[in-house]
Amino acid sequence: MKHLRIKLIWKMGKCPHNIGDEWTLPYALMRPEGLCNDAHYAMTPYLSMAASGGRSWEEDGVWRIHCPSKTGVVFEITPIIEKDHKWPENSSWAKKKENGK
Walking along the chain (101 residues) 10 residues at a time, the average pLDDT comes out as 90 91 87 90 91 88 89 90 60 53 51
Q: Containing domain of residue 69, as a range?
A: 2-98
Residues 6+ apart with CB under 8 A from 23: 5, 6, 7, 32, 33, 34, 35
Q: What integer pLDDT is reported at residue 43 of this predicted model?
A: 92
The count of structural domains within the chain is 1
What is the separation of C-alpha 63 from the centre of its chain, rounded to a whole number of angstroms? 9
CA distances to 37, 69, 70 from 53, in Å: 24, 28, 29
Distance CA 29, CA 39 (A): 13
Instruction: Indicate the SS3 state at residue 54.
Output: coil
What is the separation of C-alpha 26 from the centre of its chain, rounded to a whole number of angstroms? 9
